[in-house]
């Protein structure tokens, strides 16, 4: 594969197009807002030397969304990190940590909706330190106490979740009950 067909080269070309081409669909969010590519990065070789090859599954992200594409303000980020780092994302700082609603909700173990409600109606310190309450807590265990993880998580339909251990046990019980009824009739 030639350099001009690599992911890093495509990233560099797309970055420049967003900043300098008024016909680019993202121009109004970048070049139209005054976001530029630094002079050094106008040469692909310099961009590659500063950023390195693009890791699989990552995207270029500006740390300061009002800042330019330049060394010190760019990083490789996951799509989720990139999506959470937007100018529309409201950030809250508490005890030296800054995060948006979704980030604080994940850290607290509650839903984003519950965190949004807390931030809008409670004092910030209480919103970011209160323990999860009732249905606003993210589910970490099935009703029988088995922990959810990548191997045991299973939806039981609706909002009631069972782990795969309980789901298999329930299926075996239904099967046994069905066959017991057939034997008696």
pLDDT in tens, 43-79: 999 999 999 999 999 999 998 888 999 999 999 998 8
Alpha-carbon span 147 to 159, nearest angstrom: 16
Where helices occur in the chain by DSSP H, the ranges are 7-20, 44-51, 79-84, 101-108, 112-121, 124-127, 164-184
Largest Cα separation within the chain, whole Å, is 84
pLDDT in tens, 112-156: 888 888 888 888 888 888 877 665 555 565 655 666 555 555 544
Query: What phi, psi does 98 have (nearest 5°)?
Result: -120, 135
Domain positions in the chain are: 1-87, 90-137, 139-185
Alpha-carbon span 29 to 39, nearest angstrom: 20
151: left (phi > 0), else alpha (psi -120 to 50), else beta? alpha
- Average pLDDT rounded to a whole number, residues 15-20: 96
155: left (phi > 0), else alpha (psi -120 to 50), else beta? beta
Q: Which residue has the higher pLDDT, 87 or 107?
A: 107
Q: What is the pLDDT of residue 156?
A: 46
β-partners of residue 99 are 92
């Amino acid at each position: 594969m030639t350099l001009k067909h690599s992911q890093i080269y495509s990233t560099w070309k797309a970055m420049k197009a967003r900043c300098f081409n008024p016909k680019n669909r993202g121009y109004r969010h970048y070049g139209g807002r005054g976001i530029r590519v630094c002079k050094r990065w106008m040469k692909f070789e310099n961009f590659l030397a500063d950023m390195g090859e693009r890791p699989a599954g990552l995207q270029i992200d500006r740390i300061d969304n009002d800042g330019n594409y330049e060394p010190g303000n760019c990083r490789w980020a996951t799509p989720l990190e990139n999506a959470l780092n937007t100018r529309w994302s409201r950030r809250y700082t508490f005890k030296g940590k800054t995060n948006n609603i979704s980030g604080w909700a994940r850290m607290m173990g509650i839903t984003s909706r519950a965190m949004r409600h807390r931030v809008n109606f409670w004092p910030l310190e209480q919103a970011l330190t209160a323990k999860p309450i009732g249905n606003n807590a993210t589910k970490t265990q099935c009703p029988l106490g088995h922990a959810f993880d990548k191997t045991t998580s299973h939806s039981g339909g609706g909002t009631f979740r069972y782990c795969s251990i309980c789901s298999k046990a329930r299926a075996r019980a239904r099967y046994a009950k069905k066959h017991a009824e057939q034997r008696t009739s």
